[in-house]
Structure 1
Amino acid sequence: MQNASAFVFDAYGTLFDVHAAVRRHAGAIGPDGPLLSEIWRAKQLEYSWVRTLMGAYADFWQLTEQALDFAFAKVPSADPALRPQLLEAYRHLDCYPEVPGVLKALKSGGAKLAILSNGTPQMLESAVKSAALDHIIDDVFSVDAVGRFKTDPAVYEIVTNAWRLYPKAISFQSSNRWDVAGAAKAGFQTVWINRSGQPEEYGDLAPNLILPSLEGLVSAG
């Protein structure tokens, strides 16, 4: 996109489907599975923002566990005995169908590819390997390196410092609008992958491009 030769992707919600873990055990969870999954994701993110603001970092796996415990407490119809299975499924989330093809196309065009994520290195290694993306992605950057979560500016600097590139040389893709805003503030070119048709927000930090999936990214380049 816009002459970018380096592409950085958010992981959860952008490359990997955060609701895949609950869907994998939908039969055992019952009809409140979607509600459980939504609460799990919402609290996971809330905890990351609150801990960054407080300066009380705990890694993303700990927050994922704590958020699931909260979700079980809010959804009493879901059996907490499923906790180990759901956490294991979260380590091996499905990637979205278009992801391998898009990344391979960008790679074959000479682009450098990376993930920048709130996830721990161990979480990301499991997800990347499970999706067979480990031979496509050049670098995987975790916020563990700075002990803060997105959208703290130090997170986006992980990439520019490691690659020694100006932010404008990098195209950053995320399904999370707040993450796109953080990357735009950091100076990246930004693409909002608006998978669920959410309304626009953060108008002063607009994305360069909005796509319904990653499929349009290759043609946009």
Structure 2
Amino acid sequence: MQTSPKPKLLIFDVNGTLLNMDGIKTAINQAYQHPGAFTQWFSWLLQYSLVDTVTKTYHPFSEIAEAALQMTAASLKVNVDAVFMQDILKSMQQLPPHPDILTGLDLLKKAGYKMVTLTNSASAAQKKQLEFAQLNAYFEETFSVDAVELYKPHPKTYQYVLDELNFDPQETMLIAAHGWDVAGAARAGLQTAFIARDGQALYPLAKKPEFVCADLHELAVQLAAL
């Protein structure tokens, strides 16, 4: 049961939450000739973004993504040419929204929620992503971690958005389909909502989110009723 105050600001993760990465998953698994290649790549992408944060280093997310593609090829002992890797990086900017996103965002917009995004991708890449997916109109502002040169789930990435918009964490909710993102936002004091997409799970040692929903439409119905 929702016991926290009604959130006034909703912060959305982008990759995997709003945008569907299934096409990239298929392309990587086929090119790398392994059904787990995409999962390995994405795990290393997140892992080494955290290595940058912990070691006080910063490389753009696209550079880490390319490095992780190279590492995946090396670990699976396959030859993948540089052109394919560049095509994958470009396709990250041309992801379709998940089927539940438009109806969910429509409901939340009609309910009067202020909505913004926060992504590990660079600002320019995020702009292209939202334009391609035709989601720009739903978000009043978009934020990238490149402004603070720290990757989510570092608490300062969420605090950056709060400071920019002058909101308290208790009146703000992060919406994400990643357990690590939900855990980080909760640690920063935000309310959270987990979208339980296929293959995703919550971190059992973190604070439980205020909402766990199968998709954004289900969450939007509940938030609109508050």
TM-score scaled to structure 2, two decimals?
Answer: 0.88
Residue 145 (structure 1) aligns with: 147
Rounded Cα–Cα distance in structure 2 between residues aligned with 1:135 and 1:121: 17
How far off is 1:19 after superposition? 3.7
The answer (yes or no) to whether the contact 1:181–1:202 under 8 Å persists in 2 is no
Q: Which of residues 104, 126, 134 is equivalent to 1:102?
A: 104
Structure 1 consecutive aligned stretches of length 4 or more whose deviation exceeds 3 Å = 25-28, 75-79, 197-200
Cα distance change, pair 43–164 in 1 and its aligned pair in 2 (3 A): same
Greater displacement, 2-11 / 60-69: 2-11
Cα distance change, pair 204–139 in 1 and its aligned pair in 2 (3 A): same
Please report the RMSD computed on the Cα atoms of aligned residues, expressed in angstroms. Answer: 2.1
Q: Does the alignment pair 1:8 with 2:4?
A: no
TM-score scaled to structure 1, two decimals?
Answer: 0.90
Residue 211 (structure 2) aligns with: 209
Q: What's the secondary structure of 1:140's corresponding residue? A: strand
Residue 47 (structure 1) aligns with: 48
Q: Does the alignment pair 1:17 with 2:4?
A: no
CA offset digits 1:157-188 (Å, max 9, x no partner): 11111111111111211111111111111111
Rounded Cα–Cα distance in structure 2 between residues aligned with 1:199 and 1:98: 19
Q: Percent identity?
A: 27
The answer (yes or no) to whether the contact 1:19–1:37 under 8 Å persists in 2 is no
Cα distance change, pair 111–132 in 1 and its aligned pair in 2 (3 A): same
Tell me the matched-pair count. 219
Q: What letter is aligned with 1:44? A: L
Q: What's the secondary structure of 2:149's corresponding residue? A: coil
Rounded Cα–Cα distance in structure 2 between residues aligned with 1:86 and 1:62: 12
Q: Does the alignment pair 1:58 with 2:25?
A: no
Q: Which runs of 5+ in 2 are unaligned?
A: none
Q: What letter is aligned with 1:15? A: L
Cα distance change, pair 106–199 in 1 and its aligned pair in 2 (3 A): closer
Cα distance change, pair 198–132 in 1 and its aligned pair in 2 (3 A): closer
Residue 121 (structure 1) aligns with: 123
Cα distance change, pair 13–207 in 1 and its aligned pair in 2 (3 A): same
